[in-house]
Amino acid sequence: MEAISLVMIAYFAVANSCYLIVLICGYVNARRQHLESRLNFIDKLRPMRALTPISILVPAYNEEKSIHASVLSMLQLDYPDFEVIVVNDGAKDDTLGVLIRLFDMVKTDAFLPQILPCAKVRAVYVAPSRPNLVVVDKDNGGKADALNAAINFSRHPLICCVDSDSVLDSDGLARVTLPFFEDPDRVIATGGTIAIVNGREEAAQAGRASVIPWRPLDLIQAVEYLRAFLVGRMGWDLLGCTTIISGAFGVFKKDAVIKVGGYAKGSIGEDMELLLRMHAHAIDHNEPYRVQFLPDPVCWTEAPSDMGTLGRQRSRWQQGLCDSLWRTRRTMMKRGSGMVGWVALPFLTVFEALAAPLEVVGYVSIVAGLWLGYTDPWITGLFLAVTLVYGAILNLAAVIVDQMTFERYRAPLDLLKLVIGALIEQIGFRQIHLYWRMRGIYRWLRGKHVWGEMVRRGIAMPRKP
């Protein structure tokens, strides 16, 4: 029992040290990128029409509540040359009807070339008044399948995958494609930050400065998104180890995606899986490449607001993580695989994929130790308290990095809410999250591909913070 305790303490120490290193790297990178974002390259490049044309791909499944706002915001993006391809992935609700009615779309007999495999396409719709909008109606085949269909129909050399429940900042697209302009030979993928839209519209309507709602789930997710999606990814980016570009907002070089066979059908974490395969392909073929994460372009998304939806999302993320790591296991610690193969993938395996089972072992050993009298309840309680407090400090550190750079939250009340969120995320939520992650692992082991229904309230156009 003592050996298990020592292993758990060592694991806790190493994991937290690693997270601290990533956090410090995140801070350094965030400072640098914040400075770069203030050099206003976009304003200089826009009149020269120098930015690469791009196809925005929007897979939609049962998104009738949010699809209109989302597509409308995409059509209003400040970008010189782009098209929006919405794929209705066999939705059971009126997603297609909403699109046809509100954008006055007409059916065409346009041809869909089969570059990448996808489910049967039923029809293609175009909007005579909006020549850069296309809707592809197809049989249900999952998100990866819908994205492959959209790639088949895209005309431009860059593709941007955006969730249909998300809204981009008006100049977000220009910012996220800047690395492709700077370094067109090497950059194969870029990703922007995902921010939570929950509460912003209500706050704007009420004239409140504070945008985070008082709901515990919103508080917790606001902190989580800052820690994981902003600072965490910035840290990995500095180390050259970006292994995930969120499916909600990522830009890829189309040729590079087609070269690896597009999105893997049936994959649960299709965003991570694709990027890992692109890494593996470039490493195998010894091709120089770059993947970049940018903190400045923001994609606003609606975070789940009930436990059921959140649980399904988190189980799916864990399942996707395990699935992606398994599929690209050959790249791990492979000769010549660099930081991705030697640092990022082992870290993800040990401290992300295996963290949940190890945490369960830790909790079980504590309970067993207490039951059998091997463990001192006082020491156990203290150890747990220290773990939780340091976890909360890591959360706060992410808030500090945000305040020193991009200042996503500016109202003092929001910061107070983030502090509360940082604490309650560690007490209670972490343990529930553990259950969801274990469920994801179980499903992955059983080979169950469950996407799970996402309940949406529908988002309105956010204002810039």
Partner 1 sequence: MELLTLTPRLLTLALAVGFGSFLTIAGGIVVARIARDARSRYAARNIEADERRILQFIQSGDPKLAAEMTRTVALREHIIKVGRGLSGDLLSKLMILYTTLEFTRGDFRAMAHGRRQTRLLAMERCRALLIPLPEEAWSILLSDRLPSARWAAMEYLIAAKGRAALPWVLHYIVEETAKRKARKGVLVHLAACLAQHTPEILPHLLDHVDRDAHREILLLVLAQYPSLGAEHRIVRALRADSSASLLLAGVKALGSHPSRDSLAAIGFLAENKIAGIRQAVAEALSRFGDPAAADMLGRLAVDSSYQVRLAAVTSLVELRADLEIEVIAQDPAHPAHLMWRRFSVARPQKGAA
Residues that bind partner 1 (CB under 8 A): 31-32, 35-36, 38-41, 43-45, 48, 50, 96-97, 100, 105-111, 113, 115, 123, 125-126, 128, 137, 180-186, 376, 378-379, 382-383, 385-386, 389-390, 392-393, 396-397, 399-400, 403, 410-412, 415-416, 418-419, 422-423
Q: Considering the complex, what minimum distance in angstroms separates the CB of residue 453 from partner 1?
A: 21
Query: Alpha carbon 111 to chain centroid distance?
Result: 32
Cα-to-chain-centroid distance, residue 259 = 23
> Minimal distance in Å, beta carbon 380 to partner 1?
10
* Distance in Å, CB of 153 to partner 1, minimum: 9
88 vs 315, which CB is nearer to partner 1?
A: 88
Task: List the one residue out of 86, 13, 136, 133 whose CA is nearest residue 386.
Answer: 13
Beta carbon nearer to partner 1, 346 or 428: 428
DSSP state of 48: G
Nearest distance from C-beta of residue 175 to partner 1, angstroms? 13
First-to-final CA distance of the chain: 51
Distance of CA 87 to the CA centre of its chain: 20
Least CB distance to partner 1 at residue 407 (A): 9
**Which CB atom, from 189 or from 460, has the smaller least distance to partner 1?**
189
Report in angstroms how near the CB of residue 393 gets to partner 1 at its nearest: 5
Helix (H, G, I), strand (E, B) or coil at 290: strand
Residue 357 or 412 with smaller CB distance to partner 1: 412
List Cα–Cα distances, 115 to 138, 139, 150, in angstroms: 16, 17, 11
Residue 114, token pair as written in the block: 């089969």
Outline where DSSP puts E strands in 228-387. 249-253, 290-301
Q: Amino acid letter at 278?
A: M
Q: What angle do CA 82, 84, 89 make, to 5 degrees?
A: 155
Q: To the nearest whole angstrom, how small is the minimum distance from the Cβ of residue 108 to partner 1?
A: 5
| Cα distance between residue 91 and residue 418, in whole Å | 36
Q: Which one, 112 or 119, has the nearer CB to partner 1?
A: 112
Closer to partner 1 by CB, 383 or 444: give it. Answer: 383
Q: Which is nearer to partner 1, 82 or 153 (CB)?
A: 153
> CA dist 380 to 108, 423, 433, Å?
67, 19, 21
DSSP letters for 78-90: --SSEEEEEEEES
